[in-house]
Structure 1
Amino acid sequence: MKQGTIRLDDAGVVLNGTPVWQHVTGGFNPGSMTAIAGANGAGKSTLLRAILGEVPLTTGTVTLDGLRPQDFGYLPQARKIDRAFPISVTDMVLSGAWHHMGAFGQAGCTIRQRAADALARVKLSGQAGRMIDALSAGQFQRLLFARLLMTDARVIMLDEPFTALDAPTTQDLLGLVCEWHGQGRTIIAVLHDMHQIRRCFPHVVLLSDRRAVWGETARILTPATLQQAYGGLQAHWPGMDT
């Protein structure tokens, strides 16, 4: 197994007495770009959190070969973040560099310049002094990406990063994800848009019936497998021939 590989072997999770998924086996190779797809409630976010160690496995194992906690960058669903917390845009970006700061959390000139550069990269330079609750949904998502820019993460995990965003914002942020992939980072993203997955993500994990179908996107996302995963809800998988 290559250093930096993430491997699940016969992994299963049970929450509140109900199995979420079982007997999941597969791996994310270093530098790969993989989407996690499936109907609502299939356990997509749970898979991310299980890899991060936030959700315990009831069976099986997760192996993180040569990876440390600081090697992971995680973007949760924006709706799960309390935007009422009184923090400025700049301070939230700086929180992404916690591992570079001293014992008292002081940000030096170099780190503050990195934060300014990160905000410029996501087109938020003019918002630096505002509080996060004053941002629009699209601006807040750009801010979360700016915070990720402050990390040195080898693995970037994104939970529904483009949900409810307009086309220009999605295009900008997807471009940033592709840029990270081009730098050799491992990308794992929970996504709903099948056209987007087919166009940009070479690999996919499709969760269905408490199982995972794992492999190359063109081979996995067929009308038959999507029908099994989503039933007749074709609105969830645009761009597919039926």
Structure 2
Amino acid sequence: MRPLAPGPAGPILRFENLTLGYNRHPAVHHLRGEVAAGSLLAIVGPNGAGKSTLLKAIAGELRPLQGRIELIGVQRRQIAYLTQQATLDNAFPIVVHDFVAMGLWREIGAFGGLDRSLRRRIAEAIDSVGLNGLEARPIGALSGGQLQRALFARVMLQDAPLVLLDEPYGAIDAASVRDLAAVVRHWHDEGRTVIVVLHDLEHVRQEYPETLLLARELVARGDTTSVLSEANLLRARDLAEGRGDDAHAAICHADQDVA
């Protein structure tokens, strides 16, 4: 498979023979290529394909077993990383305002105060995700959609050039999906690089111009319509289930020279 190539803006990420895994058991094999700055990229694939593992590695939470990830023009602290809701302890006694304000942690530190301009930014972030009036509500009293909106507001305050979202629409209502998808489009319009792990292929087809199809290895990368072909999806399923064989080797993948 040909490696991913950078677009006109130049790369923000480079994968060099990247292998990731846990306890020396690989989950992603020999990934090579680049992601262009300003990309709006969906990562899809079967369960166990290594999608969340790849985001963890980009965020610096997982060390490669082999190879490396190079950040170009951005530092780890400038990455906003939204994990799946299942990793969040929503029983923690904190209200929406303070939960969202945690997005300023890197900017003001653990003991920094909130001046008027920072409080205005917090209020604007809360309002922009539709949680105005819920600032004093404990996060444990929020619905799934409301909690995800609060998480998006916290990401907004990080003001990061590179945004990683892991299954951001799982188990939330349709209205929240619609509103938060608009936030993602806005981030992309601002020139941020947004990489999102998703499982809803119809949503990917509607919202994402570029897709990376992963099944422990790169299956295809390029424009979404070409990547999400029946042949590529079948290939990904077979690889994830350990049934990959030479019969699929002749599949014509999407144009992987476009990042």
1:144 Cα deviation from its structure 2 partner: 0.3
Task: Pick the aligned partner of 2:125 from 118, 121, 129.
Answer: 118
Which residue number in structure 2 is paired with residue 66 of structure 1? Answer: 73
Task: Name the structure 2 match of 1:238.
Answer: none
Quote the residue 1:211 is aligned against: 217
The runs of 5 or more residues in structure 2 that have no matched partner are 1-5, 239-259
Determine which of 85, 91, 96 is the counterpart of 1:89. 96
Distance 2:140 2:85 in 1: 12
Contact 2:84 2:168 in 1 (8 A): yes
CA distance in 1, matches of 2:79, 2:194: 10
Q: TM-score, normalised by structure 1?
A: 0.90
Task: Give yes or no for contact 1:31–1:181 (8 Å, CA) kept in 2.
Answer: yes
- Give CA deviations for 1:44-67 in whole Å, capped at 9, x if unaligned: 110001111111101111110121
Counterpart mapping for 1:121-200 below 5 A: 121-200=128-207
State the alpha-carbon separation in 1 of the partners of residues 162 and 226 from structure 2. 24
| Matched position secondary structure for 1:120 | helix
Mapped partners of 2:93, 2:75: distance in 1: 30
Identity rate, percent: 42
The residue type equivalent to 1:174 in the other structure is A
- Give the distance between the partners of 1:4 and 1:211, measured in 2 at CA: 20
* Offset at residue 105 of structure 1 (A): 2.4
More off after superposition, 51-60 vs 214-223: 214-223
The 5 Å alignment of 1:38-53 reads: 38-53=45-60
Aligned to 2:232: 225
Q: Is the 8 A contact 1:5 1:27 kept in 2?
A: yes
Shift of 1:228: 2.1
Write the distance in 1 (CA, Å) between the matches of 2:100 and 2:10: 29
Aligned Cα root-mean-square deviation (Å): 1.5
Contact 1:206–1:214 (8 Å) recurs in 2:
yes
The answer on whether the counterparts of 2:21 and 2:53 sit within 8 Å (CA) in structure 1 is no
C-alpha separation in 1, matches of 2:107 and 2:182: 26
Q: In the TM superposition, what whole-angstrom CA distance separates every residue of 1:163-194 from its partner, at most 9, and x where no partner exists?
A: 11221110000000000000000010000011
CA distance in 2, matches of 1:107, 1:94: 9
Aligned to 2:26: 19
Distance in 2, matches of 1:74 and 1:8, equals 18
Structure 1 residue ranges without an equivalent (≥5): 232-242
- In structure 1, what is the Cα distance between the partners aligned to 2:16 and 2:96? 40
Query: In 2 relative to 1, CA 37–103 (structure 1 residues): closer, same or farther, beyond 3 Å?
Result: closer
- 1:27–1:134: structure 2 CA closer, same or farther, 3 Å change rule? same
Verify the 8 A CA contact 1:31 1:186 in the aligned structure 2.
yes
